Each structure stands twice: as C-alpha cells, then as structure tokens.
Amino acid sequence: MLLTPHTLVGIAVAVSVKEPLIAVPTSFFLHFLGDLVPHWDFCIESEEGKTDPYYPLKVIADLSIGVGIGLFFTLLTLWVIKDPLLSINIFLCGIASVLPDAITGPAIFNKEKKGIPYIMMKIQHIVHFPARPPWGVISQILVSLSCLILILHSLELL
Ligand SMILES: [Zn+2]
C-alpha cells in the first residue's frame, strides 16, 4: 500500500488503543495486514521493468502526504485537543505503521542480498497483494476513508 493509507491505519490504532506499548507494535504489524489488501503502488510498474522518470518524485509526494497527515494529527491533539499522551501515541504509531517500508528502502537500491533490509523486503513480498487501478486504488481510498472516519469520530470531531 501507499504510505498515506498505512499512516492513517497507524493513527486510527493510536486513537483507539491508548496504551502505546500495545498500540505501537500493533501499528507495525498492521502494516503487513494492510499490504494484504489488494492495492496498487509505485513498485508494480518498476517490478515489471518499466522505467518511470517520476518514480522518485511520486515516492516523495506519497511520503510527504503521509508525514503531513501524521504531523497534522500529532499537533492537533497536542495544541487543540491538549492531550499530550495521545499526541505521542499518534506520533509513534504513525512512524511504526510505515517502518517496514522504511526498513526495506535500502534493499531496493542496494543489490546486496543480505541484512535486515533484504529480509524485510522478502517478508513484504510474501504479504504483498498487488492490484491494478482502478480497484488497486479504490481499495486504498476505502481503507483511508474508514480510518479517517474512525479517527475523527474518536477525537469527537465528527
Ligand atoms: Zn509495505
């Protein structure tokens, strides 16, 4: 899945499970469950050998939106809702939810077939369920919207 829906899943966990010791590992493991949802991502084209000159830009855009959403809810709960513990939980869960992809990152660019990034890449390939647009995009919109509704409802903003 793209980083943005992964981040929203992490935030949804953070607002639902107040205990960081449970919420943070749950967010991490839900990353793999999220990748089991049939989805489209930038890797599909590159795995088929197509060279997309905008690949790095697309990844940066996805990363920026994910980080932006994570920071938005971290700061919203800190400054507006004034719940520092929830804010920390959201921050940590947001990071944990995208951590598997961050760990995998070096293995994509480094051809060495060993180390933690390579092992994580292998694990991610097993649980990865690619799907073409439109369904591979619609599935992620549905996951993102469900999480957003849950987040806003939990924060009593909806
Ligand atoms: Zn992943």
> How confident is the model over 73-88, as pLDDT tens digits?
999 999 999 999 999 9
Write down the pTM of the prediction: 0.92
CA of 82 to the centre of ligand 1 (A): 32
Distance 101 CA to ligand 1 centre (A): 5
Q: How many angstroms does the Cα of residue 157 sit away from the middle of ligand 1?
A: 30
Residue 39: domain span: 3-154
Instruction: For residue range 106-150, list pLDDT tens digits in order.
Output: 887 777 788 999 999 899 889 888 888 899 999 999 999 999 999
Residues 6+ apart with CB under 8 A from 23: 13, 14, 16, 17, 89, 92, 93
pLDDT tens profile 30-52: 999 999 999 988 776 666 656 77
What's the gap in Å between 119 CA and the centre of ligand 1?
Answer: 13
CA 47–ligand 1 middle distance (angstroms): 15
As a whole number of angstroms, the distance between CA 117 and CA 121 comes to: 6
Q: How many independent structural domains does the chain possess?
A: 1
Contact predicate 49/70, CB 8 Å? no
Residue 81 C-alpha to ligand 1 middle, in angstroms?
Answer: 31
Say yes or no to pLDDT of 65 above 70. yes
Say how many Å lie between the CA of residue 17 and the centre of ligand 1.
22
Tens of pLDDT, residues 79-116: 999 999 999 999 999 999 999 999 988 887 777 788 99
